[in-house]
Amino acid sequence: MSVQKRLLLRWLCLQVIFATVFSKDWEAEVEPKIKGLVSSCVVVPCTFKYPGEQLPDSRIRAIWHTKEKMGDIIYHEDRTKVLDSFKGRTTLLGRLSEQNCTLEIDGVRDHDNGPFCFRAEIPTFNQYSFKESCVTIVPTDVADKPNLDKKGFLEEGVATSFKCSTRHTCPSHPPTITWSYPNSDAIVNNKDIGHGIWEVESLLTFIPEEKDTNTELTCTINFHGGKHSTIQTPLYVKRKENMSHIIIPVAAALGTALLFGVMCFFMSKNYKQQIHELQSGNGIWNQMYRMSQRFRSVD
């Protein structure tokens, strides 16, 4: 290989290395708008990229500030720099070394609208405020009404399931779900449905008893921070029909009818035969009658 070719190859290799290391620009992906239940928490999903090599947590400083004013800081590792109204309410949940800038705002207040923007500072290198991808919080005072299955008649003694669910934006302290059904076991599931929204559901399985009929099944969702929402559905339980209750009388009735039918058939057959015999003159009475007539004629 000529010297020129070798140099060219080396240069190409360097290009590839530089391209992979330095091609990334400052970039952040933040959910633009997210509902937050007042008094509960809201978790804002956020990921970011920065030029240069990957750095450990300690080399990156994370800051969240209002879009309006860079100095209005709502999250900083140095708490003294945080606005009084946000002190103690913001936590960085994401790991910076994993380029995760996810923020939790706890005790959401009516005026926590934002927009809020993430800022990354790499002290020996550079810093950047991602002002083109900020989040607006929409504080809501009332929790969404949960969803609960509606069912028709339940059968006594036959296991049945009800599902109660709701959406929320506080996955770091998910809501808890309770049921009015005594001694009930329920399976709880929390799932991420994207855009910072989570769905929590509880599946209750129980065996209804006759005494449950016309009672209300209540599902209560308790949110972090103290708010709750509830929903009810009436229960109607059908008594278990023991099949012998039906089969025995029906079988008895059918049997009686059949016996009666057979008896009628033979009786009518017998009766018809007797009539026939009487009419044809071969019956015993006819013969006796004829015989008596004969004796009389002999006289």
Q: What residues between 59 and 98 interact with ligand NAG by CB under 6 A?
A: 93-94
Whether the ω angle into residue 45 lies within 30 degrees of 0, i.e. cis, is no
The residue of the chain with the least Cβ separation from ligand NAG equals 100
Contacts to ligand NAG from residues 24-63, by CB under 6 A: 47
What does the DSSP 8-state code read for residue 208?
Answer: -
Written in H, E and C, the secondary structure of 157-192 is: CCCEEEEEEEEECCCCCCCEEEECCCCCEEEEEEEE
Number of residues that bind ligand NAG (CB under 6 A): 5
Contact between 113 and ligand NAG by CB under 6 A: the answer reads no
What's the min distance (Å) between Cβ of 62 and ligand NAG? 12
Asked if residues 64 and 103 have their Cβ atoms less than 8 Å apart, the reply is: yes
How far apart are CB 212 and ligand NAG at their closest, in Å? 40
Cα-Cα-Cα-Cα dihedral sign, residues 163, 164, 169, 170: negative
Cα dihedral 36/37/41/42 (nearest 10): -20
Strand 27-30, strand 73-76: pairing: unpaired
| 197 near ligand NAG, rule: CB under 6 A | no
Closer residue to ligand NAG in complex, CB, 104/212: 104
Query: Listing from the earlier edge strand, what are the strands of the sheet with 42-44?
Result: 42-44, 103-105, 90-92
Asked if 102 is part of the footprint of ligand NAG (rule: CB under 6 A), the reply reads yes
For ligand NAG, give the closer residue by CB, 54 or 287: 54
> 92: which strand partners?
103
Positions in 141-180 near ligand NAG (CB under 6 A): none
Examine residue 100 and tell whether it contacts ligand NAG (CB under 6 A).
yes
Residue with tokens 């080399």: 59
In angstroms, give the least distance from the CB of 94 to ligand NAG: 4
State the nearest-atom distance from the C-beta of 47 to ligand NAG, in Å: 5
Nearer to ligand NAG (CB atom), residue 197 or residue 203: 197
- Is the CB of 74 or the CB of 219 nearer to ligand NAG? 74
For ligand NAG, which is the closer residue by CB, 55 or 93?
Answer: 93
The closest of 101, 75, 104 to 173, measured between CA atoms, is 104
As measured in angstroms, the least distance from the Cβ of 102 to ligand NAG is 4
Contacts with ligand NAG by CB under 6 A lie at: 47, 93-94, 100, 102
